[in-house]
């Protein structure tokens, strides 16, 4: 996919994570000294601390698709604490590592070795309070949705991050077709939510095909 788009990787994924940490995550291990993630309904998750980032925003769905290495539908099978990032004496962020069980691949090529991908996102402050980056609520076990993902680019660290706050839409509603993106007044998020899940799936596939046709050698 080289040449399809410029790469932006979120602040968590931009930090070099030791290979030993990746091995522990892939094995499903958790540091016994680290507190477990807050359960669904915990006040720390229900009222996350609002955090802003300098991630780029897009005006068109085609741009969002082009910025992603992988777009999938799926369900969150597990959430675990990852590594702590931050300068000594500064604000520390604990990453949230999401095991996403993929139902279908809408764009890009999934990693080898199974139907799960690991997604790393900003999770908690050092005091245990969850964070919501640019209006994106913390991911929870059982969430179903559509994810626009970027590969962190390390062959020994098969992690993805969400492209930006415009890159995750949870599916719900009485008919199972409703979409909920990040909170706020982002125009692209509002348009995607209005589409519904089925229409978004179709639009993403078409956008990826258009992008692939443009990048194919002639």
In this prediction, residue 183 carries a pLDDT of: 95
In this prediction, residue 175 carries a pLDDT of: 72
In this prediction, residue 86 carries a pLDDT of: 82
* DSSP string for the chain: -TTSS-----HHHHSPPPHHHHHHHHTT---TTSPPPPPTT-HHHHSPEEE-------SSHHHHHHH-SEEEEEEEEEEEEEEEE--TTS--EEEEEEEEEEEEEEEE-PPSSSSEEEEEEEEEETTS-BEEETTBPPP-TT-EEEEEEEE--BTTB-EEEESSGGGEEEEESTTS-EEE--SS--HHHHHHHHH-HHHHHHHHHHHHHHHHHHHS--
Q: Average pLDDT of each block of 10 consecutive residues along the chain (218 residues)? A: 39 33 34 46 70 93 96 96 78 92 92 83 91 95 97 84 97 84 96 96 95 61
In this prediction, residue 69 carries a pLDDT of: 95
Which residues are within 8 A (CB) of 73 and not within 5 positions of it... i.e. 6 or more apart?
Answer: 102, 103, 104, 106, 144, 145, 146, 147, 171, 201
Kindly report the pTM of this predicted structure.
0.79
In this prediction, residue 166 carries a pLDDT of: 98
In this prediction, residue 111 carries a pLDDT of: 75
In this prediction, residue 72 carries a pLDDT of: 96
Domain ranges within the chain, ordered by starting residue: 11-215
Whole-number Å distance between alpha carbons of 158 and 28: 14
Output the CATH code of domain 11-215: 2.40.50.120
In this prediction, residue 176 carries a pLDDT of: 77
């Amino acid at each position: 996919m080289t040449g399809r788009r410029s790469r932006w990787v979120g602040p968590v994924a931009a930090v070099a994570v030791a290979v030993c940490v990746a091995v522990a995550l892939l094995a499903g291990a958790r540091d016994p000294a680290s507190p477990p993630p807050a359960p669904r309904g915990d006040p720390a998750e229900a009222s996350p601390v609002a955090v802003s980032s300098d991630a780029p925003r897009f005006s068109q769905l085609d741009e969002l698709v082009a910025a992603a290495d992988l777009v999938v539908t799926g369900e969150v099978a597990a959430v675990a604490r990852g590594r702590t990032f931050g300068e000594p004496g500064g604000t520390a962020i604990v990453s949230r590592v999401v095991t996403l069980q993929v139902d279908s691949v809408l764009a890009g090529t999934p990693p080898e070795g199974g139907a799960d991908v690991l997604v790393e996102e900003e999770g908690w402050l050092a005091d245990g309070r969850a964070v919501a980056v640019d209006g994106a609520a913390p991911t929870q076990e059982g969430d179903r949705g559509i994810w626009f993902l970027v590969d962190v680019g390390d062959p020994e660290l098969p992690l993805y991050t969400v492209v930006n706050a415009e890159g995750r839409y949870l599916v719900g509603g009485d008919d199972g077709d409703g979409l909920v993106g990040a909170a706020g007044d982002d125009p692209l998020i509002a348009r995607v939510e209005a589409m519904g899940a089925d229409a978004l799936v179709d639009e993403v596939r078409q956008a990826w095909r258009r992008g692939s046709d443009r990048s194919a050698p002639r």
